[in-house]
Amino acid sequence: MTHPTRRSVLTGTVAIGATALASIGRQPPAHAAAPLTGKQAPGWYRYKVGSFEITAVTDGNRPTPLPDNIVKNASKSEVVAAVASTMPGVDKEKPPFPFTPVVVNTGQKLVAIDTGFGPATFEQSKGAIGQYQSNLAAAGIDPKTVDVVIISHFHGDHIGGLIGADSKPLFPNAEIMVPKAEWDYWMDEGNASRAPEGLVKSTHANSRRVFGALGNKVTQYESNKEVVPGITAVFTPGHTLGHTSHIVASGSDRVLIQADVTAGLGLVFARYPGWHVAADMDGPLAEQSRRKLYDMAVAEKMPVHGYHFPFPALGHLDKDGNGYRLTPVFWNTAL
């Protein structure tokens, strides 16, 4: 994972001289080495918020060559430098973009918030993404028992997992709830016809594909209300025009599920909240939502789940200069 010189290792840190290896007891047994496994642990992590159980269930990471124009108001070399300092150990020119939805069990309702790219992308990406359904199964969650799916916004990495490669619903018993402002914008034929090439146009088409497969049977919700008991929608527009975050609350405990308030490379863009990412439809509005929400999370010491934070995608934000620094959650080894 790094490239020190052999010399520095051996001369810089070893405090005692080499002497003959003293050996007592039995000889090493002749034993076949166990094979390499090539397998990673299943990608889920669970924590309590009051009496609720929240499970972060990752859809995977996608290594992505940084486009020249990934940030509108910063150069690519500035972004590469920020990746190197914020995500040490990754390929700074082709960093992994992480994708992690959550599932909330309130004890009354089992609620999925966002759904990943969908299982069809697993083979296309050679297993990099499209992991959500298998990680959900590893976490012991049957999608047939999900009562409600709440969508934050209509980008494909959030809605794609509503349906399978066969276009059948993956949450067959769930009410699908979508922000009214997202539905109004994306499903408008005039907006679709005027959409510029690229992410905006493809999101119009993909929204019709996915929701069409569901017969457009969705419940629209508005912000500043509980979407389901214990989960309140918070309007955070800019990334998309109806982009919505959520606060999950049980008793006196809360967590902010931020969706794409920082998009793509959440750790990096939290450090540089003034950067206007190309994927944000309205950069200045996204920045305004971001600073407002993050200042609240810092002031309230509210933990934040970021869809594009590295797994397990949960941490605490601090203000650091003009930006924000995430301290990842201390991993609980038991509930």
Q: Which of residues 226-265 bind its own copies (CB under 8 A)?
A: 232, 234-237, 247, 249, 252-255
Residue 182's nearest CA partner among 116, 245, 121, 102 is 245
Sole binder of its own copies in the list 80, 139, 200, 278 (CB under 8 A): 139
- Judged by CB under 8 A, does residue 124 bind its own copies? no
Alpha helix segments (H runs only) across the chain: 6-12, 76-86, 120-124, 132-138, 156-159, 180-186, 189-194, 199-213, 266-271, 283-300
Candidate ranges 42-50, 152-160, 193-201, 268-276; the one touching its own copies (CB under 8 A): 42-50
Q: How far is the CB of 315 from its own copies (least distance, A)?
A: 8
- Judged by CB under 8 A, does residue 22 bind its own copies? yes
Q: How far is the CB of 203 from its own copies (least distance, A)?
A: 21
Sole binder of its own copies in the list 24, 166, 190, 197 (CB under 8 A): 24
Site mask, its own copies, residues 56-95, x = CB under 8 A? Answer: --x-xx------------------------xxxxx-----
Cα separation, 30 vs 281, whole angstroms: 63
- Judged by CB under 8 A, does residue 7 bind its own copies? no
Exposure b/e, 124-149, CB count within 10 A at least 16 = b: ebeebbbbbbbbbeebebebeebbbb
> Is residue 56 exposed (0-12), middle (13-18) or buried (19+ Cβ within 10 Å)?
buried
Between 122 and 275, CB nearer to its own copies: 122
Render 123-174 in DSSP notation, one character per residue.
Answer: HHTTTSB--HHHHHHHTT--GGG--EEE-S---HHHHGGGB-TTS-BSSTTP
Residues 259-298 touching its own copies, rule: CB under 8 A, are 289, 292-293, 296
DSSP 238: T
Sole binder of its own copies in the list 7, 13, 65, 189 (CB under 8 A): 13
Q: How far is the CB of 27 from its own copies (least distance, A)?
A: 8
Query: Six-digit token pair at 110?
Result: 């089992």
- Judged by CB under 8 A, does residue 187 bind its own copies? no
Sole binder of its own copies in the list 182, 299, 319, 324 (CB under 8 A): 299
Q: How far is the CB of 290 from its own copies (least distance, A)?
A: 11
Place of tokens 């002497």: 19
Cα separation, 109 vs 36, whole angstroms: 41
Between 31 and 197, CB nearer to its own copies: 31
